[in-house]
Structure 1
Amino acid sequence: MPDDGVDNESGAEQDDFAGAGSDASSAAPRAAVAAAPVPGRAADFKLAKGTDISGLVAKLDAALPKQGLTALMEQANRPSNWEGACGTTGIHGPDLAVNHRVCWKSDDATSSEWVPQAITGVSDAQEDEDWGTSDAEPIAVAGYDAQNPGRSDYAAGRDNCVQDSASDASNEKGIRVSFFNQATRMYRHVLLVWPYMNSKDHISFDALHAREGTCTTTVTSSCAAQNGIHAGGMVWYGNYLYVADTANGMRVFDLRKIMDLDPDNNADVNDPTPDGLVSDVLDKKRVGRQGNVWYAYGYRYVMPQVATLKFTTAKNGGTTSGNQCYATGRPKAPYISLDRTGTGHMIPGEYCNTNNGGTSPGRVGTYPMTALTAAVEGATGTVATADLAHGLPTGATFGNEALWHKIQGVTRYEDRWYFHRSNGYDNGRLLQATPGTVDGTGQLVGDTKILQSAFGPEDLYLAHGRGDGFAPQLWSLSEHAPSACGACKRELYSYNMSEVIADFG
């Protein structure tokens, strides 16, 4: 099976313990913190549209029935807990009062396969925060398949993962997005997929991977089977969903192309599809078109990739195996967010672990959304260039290591920058910075005050409240299941932005 033409990612993706053993106690610095100012060079942040796959998307669109997001939200099938129903487990620090809490259904809250990472919502999607005719005000959360076991080589006919004895977790399923309905407090999963022509020249789809595997017997590290992407950040803007692809740039999806493999809402009956085939939503081990049946690892909904935006700047020559970052050259995009102040801008930022070396704790850039939309809808090679870039602050410390690294999320609000900093299996920190100039580099200046946040802090999403009249909310989520540590728990949560501002002073 062909790959999707993008680079593999580091196996130590956004890992606080990379290069330092598997437990928090061994995560001591291994190299001096880079103290030199980090330049912010907008020219390093260039994205170009990859190969045009609109023809493949059109073929898939004709083969399968579609479902709009409004109807999908009305059919959300997984209940969440809300506010006090989340219980008293204390993953939140003392510095910030949590305004809203959402807790996942038990199997999602404890899953070792799916790990939540990215967050966006209808406030990013459009100014009035009103999607269609629904009052759901959806929030979208992306999770990645963390087990990443690979699968057998389909080209050689070794389909071991579909045998009865194999676990349904055998396949690398890539990324799924969970759309949460704030009105009903229900949510639904959608599997992200990539369209391609199969060996019989039929349109099909596969889960979202950085690279298709080449294993011919059992899966080993030497055959690099199905390296999945991390999806550490996500922005929903208009009809497009931008998903961070760390080493490459962004994958783009279209919410007008959500495919429904079970329109009659009866999983026990295989539904006919417009191409004359049928779909099966009970089989959790197959994906795409196989034997004239459509599968999606048991998911009802799939959303195909419609474009790729790739970084074009040459890579710095240094190693990145331990999440090292560099002050110049091609950036990484482990997390992204949207700033709706003035004209909309997307902000990608880098996760870096300076304990393992490198020359930078990370950089951020800003892209006008008009430029990104033009690239998505333009011809192959259409370029979007950042109009601003900053280096993260340097010099401040946190315990026995640097404060300004291990960043998992960013947002900008009223010309102040907010960052979520992870801290292994302990409370993370919310950091604030302002634009400044250090030796002409455009480096951000960090606030001396830091606020303790939740265990396993991830991406940030600002719900501005302009459409619904609510106070602005800073949303985030925690990634660690209870099995990771005694105080760990997965929650979706928000802070009143006015309190965040006041707490920093």
Structure 2
Amino acid sequence: MLRRAALVLGLLLAVLLVPSPAVAATALTAANFRLQATAYSGLIDDLDAALPNVSVPGVVADGNRVATSCSPGASNRLASFCWNSGDNGVTYWIPQGITTTADAYDAGTYEGATAILVSWYDDGTDGVDRGVRVSFVDYSTPSAPTYRHVLLVEPYTRTDGRASFRAVNVHAGGMFWYGHYLYVASTSLGFRVFDMRHIWQAGTTNDALIGWQSDGTYQAYGYKYVLPQVFTYARSTAGGYANLTFSFASLDRTSTPDSVIVGEYAYPGTGTRLVRFPIDYTTRMLTESTDGYAHATQAYDVSVTSMQGATAINGTYYLSTSDGDANKGDLATFTPGGSVVMHTDNLPIGPEDVSYWRDKDQLWSLTEYAGSRSVFAVRASAY
């Protein structure tokens, strides 16, 4: 009986440890997915002259909130932290995207700073839509991270001709940092691009106002720093393909050349594609063809619903998928020419965007649901 029980237990464990059945993936004509850049904003110089400029290390060192230690339920977890109680519990700000200084530069630092960035969108349920904020987390001491939220803004010209800025109202489901640019996924547009060389210090006297005010100040809903949008990339397609939904995005520094992964969230319905665009490390912009477009170099329909994030590491795609607010998330892998394999329940409840820190073999992600929010890294090579 003991031998039989042991055999049954062994078979049960084997079943539990084997990944879920593979999901078929279909190759698409990559070059038919394209992006086109707008010109760099002509208002940046005017606002540079009107507002104090602050460096990235200056913002990172000016943290006014302290992260807490926590142990989210992620298999092969290497690192983690949680927000303070206010940010963990707030319902109208919802965390989504993640990137790090290892995306910005291969050395893993930006002007000496080691940081993790997380995007949050305001759902407006408290009566005000403040757009998107980005948490600049000082990760130079992983055991004691501090952070500060920075508001994303879009410069514009007022009717009186004065340069001002307004909130950026997007979902910000994914982002990546490359050189001095922060690329933020814009669901039905493509990318909104922000310039880290132009972080401005705003007034903090009124948390209900934004932009230039009659008293000569520039307010930002009470946030001390703002990061301006400087240009955008507009999506389009050829060959009869439907437009790609920019639900999330990440950087792949393991490809040659460096490249960008964009994917779609769908539950239920159509929209389960992953697309790769090349990016130029000399200009920090997507690689443009002679026709003025940046064309994708890989594209697949992976038939995976509820994708929340994706990146690629040495040719293999890594996908995070969610399963509601009561079930753990899944990590999936996919190598072109093969099928998607689901590793079920390996991520905490509510996983979102992902970002890879190559030198540490850390695949970073975060969770979104109020009351149980965390930021964590798992060992990528375990999958």
- TM-score per shorter chain, which class? 0.7 to 0.9
Return the alpha-carbon distance in structure 1 between the equivalents of residues 157 and 173 of structure 2.
28
Return the alpha-carbon distance in structure 1 between the equivalents of residues 275 and 210 of structure 2.
36
Question: Is residue 288 of structure 2 the alignment partner of residue 307 of structure 1?
Answer: no
Return the alpha-carbon distance in structure 1 between the equivalents of residues 257 and 330 of structure 2.
29
Summarize the alignment of residues 94-105 of structure 1 with structure 2, pairs less than 5 Å apart.
96-105=75-84
Return the alpha-carbon distance in structure 1 between the equivalents of residues 339 and 287 of structure 2.
36
Deviation string 1:239-265 (CA, Å, 9 cap, x unpaired) is 00000001110000000000012xxxx
Identity of aligned residues (%): 35
Question: Is residue 122 of structure 2 the alignment partner of residue 145 of structure 1?
Answer: yes
Flag the 1:110–1:372 CA change in 2: closer, same or farther, 3 A: farther
Return the alpha-carbon distance in structure 1 between the equivalents of residues 182 and 346 of structure 2.
30
Return the alpha-carbon distance in structure 1 between the equivalents of residues 358 and 307 of structure 2.
22
TM-score, normalised to structure 1, is 0.66
Flag the 1:372–1:109 CA change in 2: closer, same or farther, 3 A: farther
Deviation at 1:76, TM superposition (A): 1.4
Match of 2:148 in 1: 188
- The partner residue of 1:72 within 59, 68, 75 is 59
Deviation at 1:38, TM superposition (A): 3.9
Summarize the alignment of residues 53-132 of structure 1 with structure 2, pairs less than 5 Å apart.
53-82=40-69, 86=70, 91-92=72-73, 96-132=75-111
Match of 2:13 in 1: none
Q: Is the 8 A contact 1:372 1:384 kept in 2?
A: no
* Amino acid in structure 2 at the alignment position of 1:145: D
Deviation at 1:411, TM superposition (A): 1.2
Q: Is the 8 A contact 1:432 1:450 kept in 2?
A: no
Return the alpha-carbon distance in structure 2 between the equivalents of residues 375 and 497 of structure 1.
27
- The partner residue of 1:474 within 333, 357, 363 is 363
Flag the 1:176–1:449 CA change in 2: closer, same or farther, 3 A: closer
Flag the 1:408–1:448 CA change in 2: closer, same or farther, 3 A: closer
Flag the 1:300–1:338 CA change in 2: closer, same or farther, 3 A: same
Return the alpha-carbon distance in structure 1 between the equivalents of residues 163 and 186 of structure 2.
24
Flag the 1:201–1:368 CA change in 2: closer, same or farther, 3 A: same
Return the alpha-carbon distance in structure 2 between the equivalents of residues 330 and 41 of structure 1.
13
Deviation string 1:438-490 (CA, Å, 9 cap, x unpaired) is xxxxxx5112654521100000111111xxxxx311110000012xxxxxx00
Deviation string 1:21-45 (CA, Å, 9 cap, x unpaired) is xxxxxxxxxxxxxx99644221232
Summarize the alignment of residues 494-505 of structure 1 with structure 2, pairs less than 5 Å apart.
494-498=377-381, 500-501=382-383
Return the alpha-carbon distance in structure 1 between the equivalents of residues 340 and 379 of structure 2.
21
Q: Is the 8 A contact 1:44 1:330 kept in 2?
A: no
Return the alpha-carbon distance in structure 1 between the equivalents of residues 28 and 264 of structure 2.
12
Q: Is the 8 A contact 1:175 1:192 kept in 2?
A: yes
Q: Is the 8 A contact 1:118 1:234 kept in 2?
A: yes
Flag the 1:92–1:449 CA change in 2: closer, same or farther, 3 A: closer
TM-score, normalised to structure 2, is 0.86
Deviation string 1:143-200 (CA, Å, 9 cap, x unpaired) is 0002x25xxxxxxxxxxxxxxxxxxx43211101101111241011110000011121
Deviation at 1:338, TM superposition (A): 0.8
Question: Is residue 323 of structure 2 the alignment partner of residue 335 of structure 1?
Answer: no
Flag the 1:138–1:314 CA change in 2: closer, same or farther, 3 A: same
Summarize the alignment of residues 358-377 of structure 1 with structure 2, pairs less than 5 Å apart.
358=270, 360=271, 362-370=272-280, 373=283
Deviation at 1:103, TM superposition (A): 0.7
* Amino acid in structure 2 at the alignment position of 1:477: L
Match of 1:202 in 2: 162
Flag the 1:388–1:373 CA change in 2: closer, same or farther, 3 A: farther
Structure 1 gaps of 5+ residues are 1-34, 150-168, 210-228, 262-279, 317-327, 395-403, 437-443, 466-470, 483-488
Match of 2:220 in 1: 296
Flag the 1:415–1:37 CA change in 2: closer, same or farther, 3 A: closer
Q: Is the 8 A contact 1:375 1:383 kept in 2?
A: no
Return the alpha-carbon distance in structure 2 between the equivalents of residues 350 and 124 of structure 1.
21
- The partner residue of 2:196 within 255, 260, 280 is 255
Match of 2:356 in 1: 462
Deviation string 1:304-338 (CA, Å, 9 cap, x unpaired) is 1000100022797xxxxxxxxxxx32111110011
Deviation at 1:386, TM superposition (A): 1.0
SS state of the match for residue 280, structure 2? Answer: helix
Q: Is the 8 A contact 2:25 2:339 kept in 1?
A: no
Count of residue correspondences: 353
* Amino acid in structure 1 at the alignment position of 2:379: N
Q: Is the 8 A contact 2:175 2:184 kept in 1?
A: yes
- The partner residue of 1:244 within 185, 188, 192 is 185
Return the alpha-carbon distance in structure 1 between the equivalents of residues 250 and 36 of structure 2.
19
Flag the 1:69–1:418 CA change in 2: closer, same or farther, 3 A: same
Superposed CA RMSD in Å reads 2.3
- The partner residue of 2:127 within 167, 170, 178 is 170
SS state of the match for residue 458, structure 1? Answer: strand
Q: Is the 8 A contact 1:334 1:349 kept in 2?
A: yes
- The partner residue of 2:207 within 284, 290, 296 is 284
Deviation at 1:371, TM superposition (A): 8.7
Structure 2 gaps of 5+ residues are 1-22
Match of 1:25 in 2: none
Flag the 1:314–1:421 CA change in 2: closer, same or farther, 3 A: same
Match of 2:312 in 1: 412
More strand by share: 2
- Segment of structure 1 superposing worse, 408-417 or 234-243: 408-417
SS state of the match for residue 43, structure 2? Answer: helix
SS state of the match for residue 266, structure 2? Answer: coil
SS state of the match for residue 234, structure 2? Answer: strand
Q: Is the 8 A contact 2:119 2:134 kept in 1?
A: yes
* Amino acid in structure 2 at the alignment position of 1:430: L
Match of 1:44 in 2: 32
Return the alpha-carbon distance in structure 2 between the equivalents of residues 407 and 286 of structure 1.
35
SS state of the match for residue 459, structure 1? Answer: strand
- The partner residue of 2:321 within 421, 424, 435 is 421
Return the alpha-carbon distance in structure 2 between the equivalents of residues 365 and 142 of structure 1.
22
